[in-house]
Amino acid sequence: MHKPLEHFHDELNQLFAKACEEHQNGLLDAARQSYLELLDYFAEAPILHYNLGLVYYGQGEYQLARDSFAMAVELHPGDTDILFNLALSKKRTGDLIGAIDTYKKVLAIDPASVDTLYNLAGCYKDSLQYALAMDTYREVLRQAPQHQSANNNLAFLYHLTGDSEAAVRYYRRVLEINPDHQGAQHMVAALTGAPVTNSPELYVKAVFDNYADYFDRSLVTELEYSVPSAIRDLLDTTFAGRRKFVHGLDLGCGTGLGGQAFTDIIEVFDGLDLSAKMLAVAAKKGIYRKLHPGSIVSFPKELDDSFDFYLAADVFAYVGDLRETFCLLRQRARHDVLFCFSTESDAGNAYTLKKTGRFAHSPQYIKELAQATGWQVIASQETGLRKEKGVWVKGDLWLLQLA
């Protein structure tokens, strides 16, 4: 049983000040405990539920954050800051409908909130309500014409819905705001047919950082992606299931979706990826001994290790000219190395940057490049890589050894 509140007035004020200081200094575990202690005395204080919600959100405990913000809203209806954070938490828990409804409540109170409009548009985009998303991004731009991300996302949606001319127009607006925006530069090049040899690293990193939370679900469930298992089947068929490997490197490992198909035949497996958020997801799966942040073009130069297995599943869609990569991998390869990868198919004799922003490589290019860089193709197979708008993207699977 608690002592009367008046005996603890100073102590409780000190505890609140301590909790706020801990929170401000990033000591989230300590702040969490302090706020919970205070709630024993002030269970109906919206500021405590709100602050606790911020702590939970900062710790990635999005369901707890949602519940704390919901309690704060119940105790203090109409507070737009609380509602905004409640919407953020709902989205993080996968409740897009709930997030949309809550953002609308904020806009009913503050129709000019550009941040709320922008986040609402993102929820519409993520829930595939593209027309509503585009209308909302346009409203953001009506109020804030220089909003870089709204211009960029509107360009993406025009591209996605087939209006390349409008997409280029909005990507160019992004470049007017930020001439160094690598993603916009890359997509203008892709949509206008400009010559490009590789995707900019910052562009690739941004794409996959934004994709990390739902990458596996999107690729496997929505796009019917099965490239890693198809490469594994080709490997098992080629070697009658007899190959085992000492040290493997998964190039562009992402969330580990590709590496999972090979863990039983590789003694030590390392992963490499540009996206820190993708690597964070991969780390939880326990597939890799080490996870390295970096580029497949530059990172092998820094390695001291050697490898008898390389995997690059759906990675070379972001690298046009593969010559440097093939040479670097050869330098770090053991004599019995196996190099497994996939490419999107191109009908020409080289590689092409497609309007999707990804590269396609012709089988002739791969065969000639392999020969020129000391590799030998031992098996290849045509396949469907994934579905786009219900149609299979054609590709090729490859197994290479040293010549």
Instruction: From 149, 157, 91, select the one nearest 115 (Cα to Cα).
Output: 149
- Counting other chains too, the contacts that 251-254 makes at CB distance below 8 Å and 24 or more residues apart are 251/296, 251/310, 251/311, 251/312, 251/315, 251/341, 252/296, 252/312, 252/313, 252/314, 252/315, 252/318, 253/278, 253/279, 253/282, 253/288, 253/291, 253/311, 254/208, 254/215, 254/278, 254/281, 254/282
What letter does residue 128 receive in the DSSP assignment?
T
Report, as an integer, the average pLDDT of 58-63: 92
Mean pLDDT of 300-307: 75
The domain segmentation of the chain, as residue ranges, is: 1-105, 112-194, 210-402
247-279: pLDDT as tens digits: 999 999 989 989 999 999 999 999 999 988 989
Query: Which fold is adopted by the domain 210-402?
Result: Rossmann fold (3.40.50)
pLDDT score recorded for residue 3: 47
SS3 percent helix, strand, coil of the chain, rounded to 5, is 55, 20, 25
String of DSSP letters for 33-96? HHHHHHHTT-TT-HHHHHHHHHHHHHTT-HHHHHHHHHHHHHHSTT-HHHHHHHHHHHHHTT-H
Q: Kindly report, residue by residue over 338-386, the tens digit of the pLDDT.
A: 999 999 999 888 999 999 999 999 999 999 999 999 999 999 999 998 8
Which of the four pLDDT bands, split at 50, 70 and 90, describes residue 6? low
What pLDDT was estimated at residue 216? 63
Contact 278, 255 (CB under 8 A): yes
State residue 181's pLDDT score.
Answer: 95
pLDDT of residue 66: 95
What pLDDT is stored for residue 12 in this prediction?
Answer: 67
Distance, in Å, from the CA atom of 68 to the CA atom of 49, rounded to the nearest integer, reads 5
Q: Which fold has domain 1-105?
A: 1.25.40
pTM, two decimals, is 0.81
Q: What is the mean pLDDT of residues 211-223?
A: 68
Percent of all residues in the chain with a pLDDT value above 90, rounded to a whole number = 65
30: which 2 tokens?
A: 């300590």
Distances (CA, A) of 49 to 9, 36, 37, 91, 143: 20, 9, 12, 19, 33
CA-wise closest residue to 339 among 313, 318, 363, 360: 313
Q: Does domain 112-194 sit in CATH 1.25.40.10?
A: yes
- pLDDT, tens digit, for every residue of 95-146? 999 999 999 999 999 999 999 999 999 999 989 899 999 999 999 999 999 9
- Whole-angstrom distance, CA of residue 324 vs CA of residue 341: 16
pLDDT of residue 1: 40
Q: Can you tell me whether residue 296 is helix, strand or coil?
A: coil
Residue 228: other Cβ atoms inside 10 A: 21
For the chain, what is the mean pLDDT? 90
Q: How far, in Å, CA of 386 to CA of 342, rounded?
A: 12
pLDDT band at 9 (very low <50, low <70, confident <90, very high): low
Matching fold, domains 1-105 and 210-402: no
Tell me which of 30-34, 38-42, 133-137, 300-304 is least confident.
300-304
Which token pair is 306?
Answer: 């050697």
pLDDT grade for 210, boundaries at 50, 70 and 90: confident
